[in-house]
A and B are shown apart, each in its own frame.
Chain A
Amino acid sequence: MRLLSFAALGTVALTLAACSDPKFDESSQVGPDPVLPEPKQYLLPPINVAPGEGWQKGQTPVVPAGLRIQALATGLAHPRMVYVLPNGDILAVQAKSPPPEPVKRPKDPIVALVKNKATAYPGGPKAASRITLIRDANGDGVPELQVTLLDNLHSPFGVVWIDNMLYVANTDAVVRYPFEPGQTSITTPGTVLTELPGGPIDHHWTKSLTVSPDGSKLYATVGSNSNITENGIEAEKSRAAVWEIDRATGASRVFAGGLRNPNSPNFYPGTNTLWVVVNERDELGPHLVPDYLTSVEDGGFYGWPYSYWGQHVDPRVRPQRPDLVARAIKPDYALGSHVAALGLTFYTGTNLPAHYHGGAFIGEHGSWDRYSPSGYKVAFVPFANGRPSGKAEDFVTGFLDNEKGKSFGRPVGLAVDKTGALLIADDVGNTVWRGSSAAPAR
């Protein structure tokens, strides 16, 4: 047994020298029933980040034939989420990361350094925690107004508006501001509705937000505080979860758990079913574990940290919890390993071809924990009868500069604007992109 371990160590060291991922059919990990190879552990996990370089003037990502993409707003400060108000005004949520977490191991500062390399490009705008309002009243994709609505927030990500109240999910609290669509400034200070788990450890810090169809509840996502509990299970209290917040009182409860890093909660239009995209765990190999899109049940548990994709036990967690593994729900739809799905929006417009109506667009920020990049694109998952109904396809690509091994930009949050165009927040390219039918919008 021991001999075997060392033989394995040797093999790992050899594959390490090769610096490429083993051959694998990536499409087998997209869909409701992904192929899951055996987990692998490394001396040095495969790492390949694409450092940012920004877009050249006039350069854009690539959309399918017959569609067009244009920059709606540029020069933003690390835009991560886009949101469309009822009057058509667009909010671009920009955020800088919270202060670095306390160093517990020599590994921590090194990993932080590697990941930070890929969050901006040299000479680009500095990240800021602010919300910018963009107005394109005639819907031609050329805004008439771009103005800072809120500044000096605490690493915001999610935002939602209802009943003349703008709710902002900072990394440590949901804050609300009285706000009427049409307004272009907010002067009243916000009030905290509900505090969320923030620092000093705030590993997956993006808190995203949506509102229930009846308007009474907010749903906030709270990511895990580690890759796989290496900061201690006590740091994970109420994390790796979707929270339900009562809009009237601010009272909160964990709605569903075991979701490692859930983002972009969205109700499927016309239903009471909540969907999220989830980033799964790292350092088990280039083809584990697939990130996923799933509907979320009240009281549901989705495995993290104890198991993945149902009952596949993660050997790195102690104590183990067979009781929780037994009730872990298998997610609905795998998106591929390490794609870093952060954005999700259901297509409710009519501007794009009928093929896209009712389907889901997914913003895939892109991988670091493998040699061949995955993600770095916006994918489309067709839906029928409120469920995924076919293979995912690429919708927006061209974010990677394959020649230089760098990225022009990286997609994050998505929204559909009032004309039915798809909006994409690009946090490395500091741009909000607008994808629409080639014919100018009506």
Chain B
Amino acid sequence: MRPDNERERPRSTASIFGHPIHAMLVPFPVTCFVGAFVTDIVYSRTANLQWQYFSIWLLAAGLLVGGLAAMVGFIDYFGDSRVRRARPANWHMGINLLAWVLSLINAFVHSRDGWTAVVPEGLILSGIVVLLLLVSGWLGQSLVYRHGVGVEE
């Protein structure tokens, strides 16, 4: 690895042997939050409580690992000014934070008892979060594939 000041590409500060940790963690919350939306849809159509239980555990796991991914993301963001200068970075961070906060609210909604734990607010929140993740995922990919954040030189 070349020293920082000779690098052309932005560095991932939080990395293990050159592998950015953020990229390792991010698939977990994405999978969990998409999964919660799917199980919410199934619950809203069946009223079978097993799907509601799936949803709240998926939300809880997504929030936990998503929180870790965010912390590592902050380290990358503040660790190299070239990351901050990359245009999609602010939007990627902002949208992901919004998705995390909405999921936290969603977890409280999902902790109600019975049908209204999901329908309608829980289901709507889960859907919005999936849309947000699609956008922020696109932006995150731009950071790597366009701007080369954390890419080996």
Contacts and interface: CB of A to CB of B under 8 A. Distances in A.
B33 to A, nearest CB: 16
Nearest to B61: A106
B113 interface: yes
Interface residues of B, number: 20
Given A43-B105, A105-B53, A106-B56, A229 B111 contact: no
Contact of B114 (A5, A6, A230): A230
Interface string B43-64: 0000101000100110010000
B108 A316 contact: no
Interface string A1-25: 0100110010000000000000000
Interface stretch (B19-27, B68-76, B115-123): B115-123
Interface string B124-149: 10000000000000000000000000
Nearest to B118: A318
A283 B112 CA distance: 8
Contacts of A231: 49
B116 A316 contact: yes
A420 B66 CA distance: 64
A101 B57 CA distance: 18
Interface in A243-269: none
Given A5-B124, A9-B121, A44 B108 contact: yes
Nearest to A5: B121
B109 interface: yes
B55 to A, nearest CB: 10
B114 A228 contact: yes
A38 to B, nearest CB: 14
Contact of B56 (A105, A228, A318): A105
Interface string B76-97: 0000000000000000000000
Interface SS of B by simple majority: helix
A227 B120 CA distance: 20
Residue of B105, B113, B121 with highest tally of chain A CB at under 10 A: B113
A229 B47 CA distance: 12
A119 B117 CA distance: 28
B111 A317 contact: no
Nearest to B110: A105
A43 B113 contact: no
B111 A316 contact: no
Interface string A220-241: 0000001111111000000000
A327 B4 CA distance: 77
Contact of B49 (A2, A6, A106, A230): A230
A232 B124 contact: no
A16 to B, nearest CB: 10
Contact of B57 (A42, A106, A229): A106
A337 to B, nearest CB: 17
A5 B112 CA distance: 15
Contacts of A2: 120, 124
Contacts of A316: 112-117
Contact of A318 (B111, B114, B120, B124): B114
A107 B107 CA distance: 10
Contact of A283 (B47, B49, B57, B113): B113
A41 interface: yes
B145 to A, nearest CB: 35
B67 to A, nearest CB: 15
A229 B114 contact: yes
A106 B114 contact: no
Nearest to B57: A106
Given A105-B111, A226-B113, A317-B115, A5 B57 contact: no
Interface string A186-228: 0000000000000000000000000000000000000000111
6 tightest A-B CB contacts, nearest first: A316-B114, A230-B113, A318-B47, A43-B108, A107-B111, A318-B115
Given A105-B111, A106-B111, A231-B49, 8 more contacts: A104-B53, A106-B60, A107-B111, A283-B112, A315-B115, A316-B113, A316-B117, A317-B114
22 contacts: A5-B121, A9-B109, A41-B112, A41-B116, A43-B108, A44-B108, A106-B111, A107-B56, A107-B111, A228-B113, A228-B114, A229-B113, A229-B114, A230-B114, A232-B49, A283-B113, A314-B114, A315-B116, A316-B112, A316-B115, A316-B116, A317-B115
